[in-house]
């Protein structure tokens, strides 16, 4: 292999690894406390997840279909946001998407509202209700009552 070919190969390898590393960190999140999650979210709910399916969410700039996972939910309590939520949506990507158990488990979920849909990601505060401490279970009620200064 000539020196020019080796140089081109090395440059392409570096560019490829840079792009892979850049994409891998696209959804890197710092852990947030429940109060921070409440204040920065459009939607804060307690809900039971009953099922899921893959749905189309439009097309990307190249015309390829974008897929999302739709989790069917039954809201048991609304701390913030609309009251008529029956599903939350997330990316199927392991690096960004949130994974919920569909075995009728009760979750505390924060998310963003976009075009009438609740979008969640692994950067949101999503926990099984039974795994929250007593203080964490009280905090959304306090924030709901007293605002983000709670």
Give residue 2's pLDDT band: very low, low, confident or very high (50, 70, 90).
low
CATH of domain 34-146: 2.40.50.120
Whether 90 shows a pLDDT value over 60: the answer reads: yes
For residue 21 the two structure tokens come to: 């590393």
Instruction: Report the run of H or E that residue 7 belongs to, with start and end.
Output: helix 3-24
Q: What is the mean pLDDT of the chain?
A: 83
Give the pLDDT band of residue 49 (cuts 50, 70, 90). very high
């Amino acid at each position: 292999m000539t020196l020019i070919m080796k140089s081109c190969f090395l440059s392409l390898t570096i560019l490829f690894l840079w792009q892979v590393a850049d994409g891998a960190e696209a959804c890197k999140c710092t852990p947030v406390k429940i109060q921070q999650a409440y204040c920065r979210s459009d939607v804060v709910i307690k809900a039971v997840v009953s099922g899921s399916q893959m749905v189309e969410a439009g097309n990307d700039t190249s015309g390829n279909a974008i897929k999302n996972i739709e989790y069917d939910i039954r809201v048991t309590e609304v701390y913030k946001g609309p009251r008529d939520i029956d599903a939350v949506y997330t990316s199927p990507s392991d690096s960004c998407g949130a994974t919920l158990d569909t075995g009728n488990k009760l979750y505390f979920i924060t998310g963003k509202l976009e075009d009438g849909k609740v979008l969640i990601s692994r950067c949101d505060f999503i926990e099984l209700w039974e795994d929250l401490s007593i203080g964490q279970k009280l905090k959304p009620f306090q924030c709901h009552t007293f605002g983000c200064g709670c």
